[in-house]
Structure 1
Amino acid sequence: MTTNIENFADIDTVKLAIQKFQEIGWPSFSETDNIDEFVEKITKQITEELGKFPNYLMPLKPKNFPFGIFRVREMTESTNFDLYAGNSYPPVAFTKLGRCNFPKHPVFYASNNPITALSEVVRNEEFKGKKFCISSWEIIKSNDTFIFENFLQTSLHPNNHFAVLAKALVNRVNEPFDIKLSEEQTQGIVEFLKYIDSQFISDENYSFSASLAHRRIYGKHNFCTDILMYPSVQTLMQGVNLAINPNFVDNHMRVKRFYVIELQSFDKQSGKFIITFHKYGEIKKNVIFWKKIHPEDKLYQKYVKLDFKSFISDDFKFDFIK
């Protein structure tokens, strides 16, 4: 809790600062840059104009995180998909600059549903003839608390059910403060959050968005973000993505099952898609057993209905091709 509310800018100051940020732009990251120094440069550029800026964190227990966690990899000969690691975050040496990470600082990229995860991997590239592995993950049940943070204060698609999280945050802007913020300061914080969160969509070279995520996920303090949520560009903000701390993945998550699929068609505007399932992977005593699809396999049908439930209508029927 803090009482230094005078350090938070009002709405007019924030609007002027945002205009200045847009005019000047943000530094572009080079692989020769020191990451900590680069992030500090970004932070300083913000604080010089606005003073302190808050991060709204949500401590959660695993039982209070009801969302799916899905990750997708294109199947290539260079990856061993019989190992969990082949479906997890990339090795340090192969980690490049991304929307939420710097080189050699991996994060576990995932989505709340398998189709959003698939669209993020496919992007605008040709997908015909390629096979992809969808992995379904979960947080291990425990009484431990982890830190969740969302960056959803932006123009979400009307079909995005996570808009409720964005609205809830706006309604709770005053909660961390012992003394209530003025209306102008409250509006200023909301305006700043909208600008910051929009960078996870508009930052095309990833330098700024990676800085925002890195200072939260790789921070050198006890309140680092374990799971960061942001809008999915590839689904036109209909879905959300997750950037998860690798240490959290190693200590608090596990993979449940896998699907090998081909994407036949995908329409971003409507969200409609056609996929072919080739096989699925079930885990028994740490071994992945791959099973071909056949009509009598009720376990396969059960898994698909669980993992793809948001896309399955009441009259859905399985179509098996010999």
Structure 2
Amino acid sequence: MWVIQMDINDIESKVKMISKFLSKESIDDNYEDIKQTVSEIITPTIISYVEIDRLFLFRARKLNALINFDNLSAQDIFMPPAELTEMGRGNMKRKPVLYAALDPVTAINETGIKENDYFLLGCFELLENGGSHSKERTCVIGITKNDKKEDPIMRIAQGISSNFLYTEFTREITKWNKNRYYISNAIVDHLFNKMNFRSVIYPSVINNKRLNILLNEQAASDRLAFGYMYVCKMLEVNGTQFKAHIYKSLDDTTTKNELKWRKLDNQRLFTYKSEGPKDQVEVIKKRMCKHFE
């Protein structure tokens, strides 16, 4: 059995130490210190993960106006090029990752799409590796699965670490606290570079009961299959459902291994209603394993 020696007070003090790094003027110079401290918080505890063989991911993108459909492609709903990539919750500037939601309502709400907005809605499928039949090993933040057999000290340490991860990934970011992105980036850096994950499932900021996922470039390239992309105009939207006109659809035409546009009637409606991804959360929770460093 893996035995982990830890000092709970030490972990708590390191969590508090993070804020001190953010208050310094030259935050970029302190990023290595932030990464080191984050690693020291995560390392003594247990990280949960799930092995995924198939999962549908959704991305949305607001359009400024109804543009020429023929100039659009599947790339317009994929991750942005490095030169256009700004710092985000799980990526540094010019270091793109692919962000997606596990349901289309969350993708739309997080993008800030409102009534009468034109937007793109894309669906991708996360598949197992066709050659090796291996499943994508994905870190899970925000879904707990307690084991009563665990040592009490270990459970406390895991609780501190889990709360730290959950707080940073669900924290609302404004122009006043953008420095918090350095912390969530340091977490992702540890998960990717020290624990060899390539993807992370985490709660949505808009609704913590819904889930997002981020994948690094290699995982997105290896595992994602394009499903469809709709060009839409929003008619109604709220926290659990939306209704939109579909103007055009780009689908994967598997017979010729190419993508083709399908012209649609402007009155065609797309309605999606969801009370929340309870089933998928339960599936993920049942499949979760624990990674010991």
- Give yes or no for contact 2:21–2:34 (8 Å, CA) kept in 1: no
Quick one: structure 1 residues 203 and 27, their matched pair in 2 at CA, closer, same or farther if it must change by over 3 Å?
Answer: farther
1:122-201 residue pairs with structure 2 within 5 A?
Answer: 122=112, 127-141=114-128, 142=130, 143-152=133-142, 166-168=143-145, 170-171=146-147, 182-201=151-170
1:56 is the counterpart of 2:47: yes
Shift of 1:190: 1.4
Render the CA deviation track for 1:18-73: whole Å, top value 9, x for unaligned. 4x34763636797x937xx72x311333466x5843352535252xx4x4200112
CA distance in 2, matches of 1:208, 1:87: 27
CA distance in 2, matches of 1:147, 1:29: 37
In structure 2, the partner of 1:290 is 262
1:116 is the counterpart of 2:91: no
- Give the counterpart of 1:280 among 231, 246, 249: 249
1:8-157 residue pairs with structure 2 within 5 A?
Answer: 8-10=6-8, 13-15=10-12, 17-18=14-15, 20-21=16-17, 24=20, 26=22, 33=28, 38=31, 40-46=32-38, 52-54=43-45, 56-58=47-49, 60-62=51-53, 65=54, 67-75=55-63, 82-122=72-112, 127-141=114-128, 142=130, 143-152=133-142
Normalized per residue, the structure richer in strand is 2
In structure 2, the partner of 1:256 is 227
1:245 is the counterpart of 2:216: yes
Quick one: structure 1 residues 291 and 72, their matched pair in 2 at CA, closer, same or farther if it must change by over 3 Å?
Answer: same
Give percent identity, aligned residues only: 16
CA distance in 2, matches of 1:79, 1:244: 28
Structure 2 residue identity aligned to 1:41: D
Structure 2 residue identity aligned to 1:281: L
Quick one: structure 1 residues 210 and 258, their matched pair in 2 at CA, closer, same or farther if it must change by over 3 Å?
Answer: same
In structure 1, the partner of 2:284 is none
3-state SS, counterpart of residue 209 of structure 2 = coil
- Give yes or no for contact 1:259–1:280 (8 Å, CA) kept in 2: yes
Structure 2 residue runs of 5 or longer lacking an equivalent are 277-293
Quick one: structure 1 residues 187 and 131, their matched pair in 2 at CA, closer, same or farther if it must change by over 3 Å?
Answer: same
Shift of 1:273: 3.4
The alignment of Structure 1 onto Structure 2 pairs a total of residues equal to: 262
- Give yes or no for contact 1:133–1:260 (8 Å, CA) kept in 2: yes
Quick one: structure 1 residues 140 and 81, their matched pair in 2 at CA, closer, same or farther if it must change by over 3 Å?
Answer: farther
3-state SS, counterpart of residue 110 of structure 2 = helix
Structure 1 residue identity aligned to 2:163: K
Q: What is the TM-score of this pair, normalised by structure 2?
A: 0.74
3-state SS, counterpart of residue 147 of structure 1 = strand
In structure 2, the partner of 1:315 is none
Structure 1 residue runs of 5 or longer lacking an equivalent are 153-165, 175-179, 313-322
Structure 1 residue identity aligned to 2:59: R
- Give yes or no for contact 1:110–1:243 (8 Å, CA) kept in 2: yes
Quick one: structure 1 residues 282 and 46, their matched pair in 2 at CA, closer, same or farther if it must change by over 3 Å?
Answer: closer
CA distance in 2, matches of 1:279, 1:244: 28
- Give yes or no for contact 2:50–2:140 (8 Å, CA) kept in 1: no
Q: What is the TM-score of this pair, normalised by structure 1?
A: 0.68
- Give yes or no for contact 1:225–1:245 (8 Å, CA) kept in 2: no
Shift of 1:293: 3.7
Structure 1 residue identity aligned to 2:205: V
CA distance in 2, matches of 1:91, 1:200: 24
CA distance in 1, matches of 2:203, 2:261: 34
